[in-house]
Chains A and B, each alone.
Chain A
Amino acid sequence: MSTDLGTYRRDLILALRLREVPGDRIGEIVAEVESHVADTGEDPLDAFGPAREYAATATGRPRPRWGWADLLIAVAAGAAGWLLAGGLLGLLSGDPVGPLPPWAALALGAAIALPTVRHLRRTASAVRDPRTGEDMAPLPRWVPWLLGGTLALPLVAAAVDRRVLLTDGRTGAPAILCRRRPRRAPREQESP
């Protein structure tokens, strides 16, 4: 069985990430593999064994299990996302987010999101190549667009929804404009 270096590198980075190895250390381990394979011409699978097994050997640490800290991070991320999205929607619609006014939901969401993101950035440091200083596992270019689109989608949907709600069903014109039109008083029938 053989594997190309690109596949092996990707599998090894993933296996080391799952073991919560710091990015700089991952870069060292991957660069050692690449340098050795370049020197010997060996297949990385033959020289180092399966990526998951080598990740265990190279770090000497077991794969950490999910704990309360991970659950807390997941709950915090979910709550922050819900509060931020709800707050933004609330600003558009004027509706409260549960018991909170929209601005309070936004502030609370930001207060939870900032330390959560800071923690995630610290634990998921970039995988730097010690030979060049380059990021060995950069995010694909489409990821920021996907994230931005995912965040923007509820706002666009809310804006469209608001426009539909405020549209006059008979004429199709925005209802807010219709309301501004002065209503004609019904003509009184002239007495014969």
Chain B
Amino acid sequence: MPTDSLWPSDWLRAVLPLCVLAVVAEEETYGYAVAQRLREAGLGAVKGGTLYPVLNRLEEEGLVRSSWREGAGGPGRKFFTVTAAGRAELVGRTTAWHLFTERATAVLPSLEASR
């Protein structure tokens, strides 16, 4: 997958669908804007070849919906909106993710101990 190596690619692959769903849930948006939002959040540059398959899988699962609209002076853009099922899924997955990371963190040595 063509992504920046800021994080191990496995980590990003695991969390990307949830983060993309969260970004789309913030407001109606399109692919490039999602990538920018993720980079601003410190997750690194997510390439188009990674991002669009994730967005399309979310759409296939019925968590987001899309529509093409005319761009200003350019080609049309595909805008994504979260669905009601997507919002419910976001709450459930976010809860599970926090629980998962808390438990994983509890297993890992503390930063002080590892120094």
Query: Residues of A with Cβ closer than 8 Å to B?
Result: 28-29, 31-40, 42, 46-49, 54, 57-58, 60, 130-132
Q: B76 to A131, Cβ gap below 8 A?
A: yes
Residue of B nearest to A47 (CB): B48
Q: A40-B32, A58-B56 are in contact. Are A32 and B78 (CB under 8 A)?
A: yes
- Secondary structure of the A side of the interface? helix
CB A27 to nearest CB in B, in angstroms, measures 10
Q: B52 to A58, Cβ gap below 8 A?
A: yes
Query: Residues of B with Cβ closer than 8 Å to A?
Result: 1-2, 30-32, 35, 47-49, 52-53, 56-57, 68, 70-71, 74-78
Q: A36 to B56, Cβ gap below 8 A?
A: no
Residues of A within 8 A of B78 (CB): 28, 31-32, 35, 130
Residue of A nearest to B77 (CB): A35
Of A36, A58, A130, A131, the residue contacting B31 (CB under 8 A) is A36
9 A-B Cβ contacts within 8 A? Answer: A29-B52, A33-B52, A36-B52, A46-B2, A47-B47, A47-B48, A57-B53, A60-B57, A130-B76
* Docked CA distance A4–B55 (Å): 25
* Docked CA distance A31–B31 (Å): 12
Q: B32 to A48, Cβ gap below 8 A?
A: no
Q: B75 to A131, Cβ gap below 8 A?
A: yes
Q: A38 to B48, Cβ gap below 8 A?
A: no
Q: A130 to B68, Cβ gap below 8 A?
A: yes
Residues of A within 8 A of B52 (CB): 29, 32-33, 36, 58
Residue of A nearest to B50 (CB): A57
Of B2, B30, B53, B76, the residue contacting A60 (CB under 8 A) is B53
18 additional A-B residue pairs with CB within 8 Å, beyond A28-B78, A40-B35: A32-B52, A35-B30, A35-B77, A36-B32, A37-B48, A38-B75, A39-B32, A39-B77, A46-B2, A47-B49, A48-B48, A49-B47, A49-B49, A57-B1, A60-B53, A60-B57, A130-B68, A132-B76
